[in-house]
Structure 1
Amino acid sequence: MSLESIAISDLMSRNVLVAEQDLNIYGICRILSNNNIGCVVVVDDLETRKPVGIITESDIIKVMGKLDQHQLQVPIKNFMSTPVFTLSSKASTADAMKLMCDKKIRRVVILENDNLVGIVTDKDLLRCLMQNRDIMSSIASSDSSLPPKQSNDDFSHFWFCNSFIH
């Protein structure tokens, strides 16, 4: 078994919560809290569900760090991360890992015929790796060593990218 042989559609979460661009941070926080999730895909409208951005816990922390109550009422389109990085539902796990490493992101929106059908997170990929001993064994025996000047902050990104992306 290899990363290329594992379809991203097998890992993705299909129940993706979405919000329109005019919802405010308070509304997003309620969605995140009530559903115990880390992000909401921002869509053009609720019918077409075309992704136009993503709002994550990290984006909200940046807003909250300003301690300006006015910011809580501003539409999320002013804070969401864009562009949305997407893959086809026919992509492989390796494709998702490569995109996450290249773009330094933790979530990829999955589309089928330009329609939102799922989302894959770094946690989904790690869970997949931990459940596949063959893949983990081949990585453990590889020669991926840490460069001497690699910072601690970059270690996990380095290991992930160099261990799983060829």
Structure 2
Amino acid sequence: MLVEEIMSEPLVTINSNDRIEEALELLNKHKIRHIPVVSENEQVVGILSDRDIRDAAPSILEENQNRQILQHEVSSIMTTPVITVHPLDFIEDIATIFYEHEIACVPVTKNNQLVGIVTEKDLLYRLIQLTGIHEQSSQIEVKVPNKVGVLPNVTKIISDRNTNISSVFIYPYQDSYHEKIIVLRIQTMNPMPLIDELKQHGYEVIWPNIPGLSK
């Protein structure tokens, strides 16, 4: 999935020489947490968050306390330089950037022009959709050897029972190169017959582990 499919647009932006008070008003008015700071030609020069304002003026909500900070220019507290991404980047790359740089949003640029923004919330919502958890379904986790042909074999068992698969995820079993966990979300509320059949074919179902079913 590409960044352009999940990014937010149009955008609320602010200039670096605008006052912090204006930025705070925009944050509150639009119920957002981040504002890209742009130049006159819409190039990203910084990013401003509600946290930046709180850190600069920890008593901002107290009457007559630290009010002078609000008259300073946005450039005095904005974060710069800014990590940006392209609309055709993959959302997996965004997740890696969020994790490695411990940030909560990235502006999206094309030809050095701001075209969108992606936040942690945008990414998390789309990942939830990708798992299929928003649909009526059941989750099965199967431990399998890491070799060619295993995944189609498992999915064939499911398709032979006329059961639709909402999503498939695969990850290493306890960091092992030799075994994998296949996580399947299937469109049935009664996975018991399917779990039994997977076990009869020699697969180890580790979730749900139903006592009494075939091993």
TM-score bucket of the superposed structures, by smaller chain: 0.7 to 0.9
**CA distance, structure 1, for counterparts of residue 13 and residue 31 of structure 2:** 14
**CA distance, structure 2, for counterparts of residue 97 and residue 7 of structure 1:** 12
| Residue identity in the other structure for 2:114 | L
**CA distance, structure 2, for counterparts of residue 49 and residue 89 of structure 1:** 16
| Residue identity in the other structure for 2:5 | D
Does structure 1 residue 65 correspond to structure 2 residue 63?
Answer: no
Deviations 1:6-33 (A, max 9, x none): 1011000011111111111111011111
Q: TM-score, length-normalised on structure 2?
A: 0.59
**CA distance, structure 1, for counterparts of residue 19 and residue 90 of structure 2:** 34
Counterpart secondary structure, 2:14: strand
Q: TM-score, length-normalised on structure 1?
A: 0.75
**CA distance, structure 2, for counterparts of residue 119 and residue 9 of structure 1:** 9
Q: Is the 8 A contact 1:110 1:117 kept in 2?
A: yes
- What is aligned with 1:83? 81
| C-alpha deviation, 1:138, in angstroms | 2.4
| Residue identity in the other structure for 1:71 | I
Q: Which range moved further: 125-134 or 64-73?
A: 64-73
Q: Is the 8 A contact 1:13 1:118 kept in 2?
A: yes
- What is aligned with 2:169? 138
**CA distance, structure 2, for counterparts of residue 94 and residue 11 of structure 1:** 12
**Structure holding more helix per residue:** 1
Aligned pairs (5 A) from 1:47-62: 48-62=41-55
Question: Cα RMSD (Å) of the superposition?
Answer: 2.1
Q: How many residue pairs get matched?
A: 137
Change (3 A) 1:143 1:137: farther
**CA distance, structure 2, for counterparts of residue 50 and residue 98 of structure 1:** 24
Q: Relative contact order: is structure 1 or structure 2 higher (C-alpha 8 Å, sep ≥ 6)?
A: 1
- What is aligned with 1:15? 10
Aligned pairs (5 A) from 1:20-35: 20-35=15-30
| Residue identity in the other structure for 1:114 | N
Deviations 1:22-75 (A, max 9, x none): 111111011111111111110112xx1100001001101112216422211110
**CA distance, structure 2, for counterparts of residue 49 and residue 136 of structure 1:** 39
| Residue identity in the other structure for 2:85 | L
Larger radius of gyration: 2
- What is aligned with 1:162? none
Deviations 1:82-114 (A, max 9, x none): 111101111000111111111110101101111
Counterpart secondary structure, 1:40: strand
Q: Is the 8 A contact 1:25 1:74 kept in 2?
A: yes
Change (3 A) 1:136 1:33: farther
Q: Is the 8 A contact 1:40 1:56 kept in 2?
A: yes
Q: Is the 8 A contact 1:130 1:136 kept in 2?
A: no
